[in-house]
Amino acid sequence: MPTVLITSDSHGFTDEVQQLKDQYQDKVDGMIHCGDSELDYNHPAMVDFLKVTGNCDYDSEYPEDLTVDIKGTRFFVAHGHHHNVKMTLDPITYQASEQQATVVCHGHSHLAHATKMGDQIVINPGSIRLPRGRREETYAILSWDDHTYKINFYQLNGKEVKELATEYTL
């Protein structure tokens, strides 16, 4: 079953990003950072992450968005600040549709959630530094098989945030 680590909004927390990388690098098929790492694009902790720029990132090497296929599933990744994700998910899902993406990953709001919109799964992993709406710093693990997508959220200590877990069939 393919698996992807999704994180965002680490805001300079180098050790925590490195911790996630060390923990999952050999266990997942991809690692995504949805922006606002506040680290240089080539920082050792960010190597091997598929990554985009956020509104607090100033390294011009970061792309605004990214479309990538992982194990047969197309992902669209953007921080979300240019898509107004704090108000609506429509602009980001529209752009993802143009890229024929099934999974949409974003950050910016620091609010951990996963939702199904039409034929897309939209995931915000929350923040591993400055969460909003909850006390726990979170990241997400997405796994899928055929048309079923399972999203689990975890704290940095590895404890699952069970009330956020969800599963969707497309």
Q: How far apart are CA 57 and CA 37, in angstroms?
A: 7
Angle at CA 154, nearest 5°, toward 43 and 12? 25
Mean pLDDT, all residues of the chain: 96
Residue 145: the pLDDT is 95
Residue 132: the pLDDT is 73
> Does 76 score more than 90 pLDDT?
yes
Mean pLDDT, range 115-121, rounded to an integer: 97
pTM: predicted TM-score of the whole model, two decimal places:
0.96
Residue 136: the pLDDT is 85
Q: How far apart are CA 70 and CA 153, in angstroms?
A: 20
Counting residues of the chain whose pLDDT is more than 90, the rounded percentage is 94
According to DSSP, residue 93 is labeled H
Residue 143's pLDDT band (boundaries 50, 70, 90)?
Answer: very high
3-169 maps to which CATH number?
Answer: 3.60.21.10
> Does 130 score more than 80 pLDDT?
no
Q: How far apart are CA 142 and CA 133, in angstroms?
A: 21
What is the DSSP track for 7-67?
E---TT-HHHHHHHHHHHTTT-SEEEE-S---S-TT-GGGTT-EE---TT---TTS-SEEE
Residue 106: the pLDDT is 98
Mean pLDDT, range 23-32, rounded to an integer: 98
Mean pLDDT, range 39-63, rounded to an integer: 97
Mean pLDDT, range 87-107, rounded to an integer: 97
- Going from N- to C-terminal start, the domains of the chain cover 3-169
Mean pLDDT, range 80-85, rounded to an integer: 93
Here the tokens at position 74 are 């197309």
